[in-house]
Amino acid sequence: MEIVAGAVVSERLRALGQPVPRVVVSGNFATPWELVRLMNEALAECRVFVLNAQPGWPRRDGLVTETPFVGPGSRNDPRLDYLPMRLSLVPRLFNSIRPPDVVLIHTSVPRAGKVSLGIEVNLLPAAIEQVRRRGGLVIAQMNPCMPYTRGDAEIDVDDIDLAIEVDQPLTSPAVRVPDEAASLIGERVAARASEGCTLQMGIGQLPDASLTPMLALQRLGVWTEMLSDGVVHLEHAGALDPDRLVTATFMFGSAQLYEWANDNPRLVMRRTEIVNDPARIAAQPGMLSINTALEMDLFAQANASYVRGRIYSGFGGQPDFVSGALHSPGGQAIIALRSWHDKSDVSNIVPLLHVPICTFQHSVVVTEQGEAVMFGRSQHAQARLLIEQVAHPRARETLWEAAIALGLVDASETH
């Protein structure tokens, strides 16, 4: 690894010799913004692969953003190339139809011949391995503010070609205090947890709100794609099993979360192929998968990707964890959502989705109105439970009418 000035990075990028190079970049809240700036200035044309691009992501002619999970930085970009895929399968792209020429990573400072990817492991180990095989470039933005995490986060400095030094605090998502509906949903979800079960929390306020009521439990395990501050609260409350490592692949959270993660032997960061492998998820005892959705229809199909017919996010790890949890001994796959979208003034329980689904066959659907147990129920029973137990009262008459039209219930059965 050679530590260089930004001008050297720009020169090496311009000298790639590829007409349209593919660049894989650390995403989420580990975006190496200085390297992104240098790339954007140096490459007239490129395809950039990133997860959950944040605000400030470049948008211009000549730069195509590739992603299986759309973030606010690339949402509604006309040049966006969205890849509808389970996250567990995405690393296979790098050794097949989407091989990388450059990988830009955000790392800790070196320690004993290694750096750490810190809060964002995800797809990066697979991308680094493939770019090394292809003779491409691995460029690091080394930051003393990046926590040093272990496991697949650790990268040999010999696998990095160039590095720049940037001392910059990591950004964190905005803090959102749960409102009454979110707290009620969180309590209902938490009531389905049991001593010794294993937790996975998807992105969003509702999965986070489910953790606070679990503080009184014991021997909980964590096998999750995303790690948030709620897990630290569980640790400090003594709710986590001291004999089980906390396993994750990326983090969203406060500076306190990142401080807790730094050099913590209780935490192991694993690559996507491991964390999101449905078979490994199924091997966790009592896997409690907690995810959210934008909409759910009367066939119990969840949409977590599309808003008004346009891509908003993506499948993410939801299909992997729903499938894995359902095969775990005592496992449950929970979908938590609000029954009503206040801003749009519409029901989140809809008659029939008109966009691609993310998941179905969940164990339970939870809203602030109640919960509907889905597992093993007929499609008629599922529709009835969704209307009676979790839909907003304002939507129920319309949903009953739709259920009759769809042949899900008989007119004589409605209330």
- Tens of pLDDT, residues 243-274: 999 999 999 999 999 999 999 999 999 999 99
Residue 170 lies in a domain: no
Annotated active-site residue in 34, 66, 225, 368: 225
Same domain? For 147 and 254 the reply is no
Q: Considering only CA atoms, which of 362, 352, 271 is closest in space to residue 324?
A: 362
- Quote the CA–CA distance of 314 and 71 in Å, as a whole number: 9
Q: Is 277 exposed, middle or buried (0-12, 13-18, 19+ CB in 10 A)?
A: middle
Same domain? For 246 and 340 the reply is yes
Per-residue confidence band for 374, with pLDDT thresholds at 50, 70 and 90: very high
**pLDDT, tens digit, 9 for 90 and up, residues 314-353:** 999 999 999 999 999 999 999 999 999 999 999 999 999 9
Residue 355 lies in a domain: yes
Q: Considering only CA atoms, which of 32, 34, 33, 75 is closest in space to residue 52?
A: 75
**pLDDT, tens digit, 9 for 90 and up, residues 75-126:** 999 999 999 999 999 999 999 999 999 999 999 999 999 999 999 999 999 9
Among residues of the chain, what percentage have pLDDT more than 70?
99
Q: Considering only CA atoms, which of 67, 49, 214, 51 is closest in space to residue 119?
A: 51
Same domain? For 161 and 186 the reply is no
pLDDT at residue 414 in the model: 65
State the total domains in the chain: 2
Please state the separation of Cα 362 from the chain's center in Å.
18
Same domain? For 300 and 267 the reply is yes
Tokens representing residue 219 in the block: 């021997």
Helix runs in 159-218, H state only: 180-190, 205-209
Q: In degrees rounded to 5, what are phi and psi of residue 146? A: -75, 125
CATH of the domain at 254: 3.40.1080.20
Mean pLDDT computed over 195-211: 89
Same domain? For 266 and 402 the reply is yes
Please state the pTM of the whole predicted model.
0.94
Residue 171 lies in a domain: no
Contact (CB, 8 A) for 389 and 369: yes
Q: In degrees rounded to 5, what are phi and psi of residue 244? A: -120, 130
Contact (CB, 8 A) for 122 and 46: no
Last residue of a domain, one of 142, 165, 188: 165
Q: In degrees rounded to 5, what are phi and psi of residue 47? A: -115, 125
What SS3 state is found at 310?
strand
- Quote the CA–CA distance of 388 and 398 in Å, as a whole number: 12
Per-residue confidence band for 388, with pLDDT thresholds at 50, 70 and 90: very high
Q: Tell me which amino acid residue 312 is.
A: Y
- Quote the CA–CA distance of 331 and 197 in Å, as a whole number: 8
Residue 173 lies in a domain: no
pLDDT at residue 205 in the model: 84
Last residue of a domain, one of 100, 135, 165: 165
Please state the separation of Cα 162 from the chain's center in Å.
29
pLDDT at residue 154 in the model: 98
CATH of the domain at 49: 3.40.1080.10
pLDDT at residue 368 in the model: 96
Please state the separation of Cα 25 from the chain's center in Å.
16
Question: What is the domain range of residue 14?
Answer: 2-165
Residue 191 has pLDDT above 90, yes or no: yes
Residue 174 lies in a domain: no
Rg (C-alpha) for the chain, rounded Å, is 22
Same domain? For 195 and 241 the reply is yes
Query: Range with the lowest mean pLDDT among 165-174, 202-211, 271-280, 360-369?
Result: 202-211
Q: Is 397 an active-site residue?
A: no
Last residue of a domain, one of 104, 130, 165: 165
Same domain? For 150 and 227 the reply is no
Mean pLDDT computed over 131-147: 97
pLDDT at residue 413 in the model: 66
Same domain? For 212 and 145 the reply is no
Same domain? For 270 and 377 the reply is yes
Residue 410 has pLDDT above 90, yes or no: no
pLDDT at residue 415 in the model: 59
Same domain? For 113 and 188 the reply is no
pLDDT at residue 137 in the model: 98
Residue 175 lies in a domain: no
Residue 400 lies in a domain: yes
pLDDT at residue 178 in the model: 86
pLDDT at residue 173 in the model: 84
What SS3 state is found at 192?
coil
What SS3 state is found at 88?
helix
Same domain? For 280 and 409 the reply is yes
Mean pLDDT computed over 383-399: 97
Instruction: Express the helix, strand and coil content of the chain in percent, nearest 5 each.
Output: 30, 25, 45
Residue 113 lies in a domain: yes
Which has the higher per-residue pLDDT, 409 or 31?
A: 31
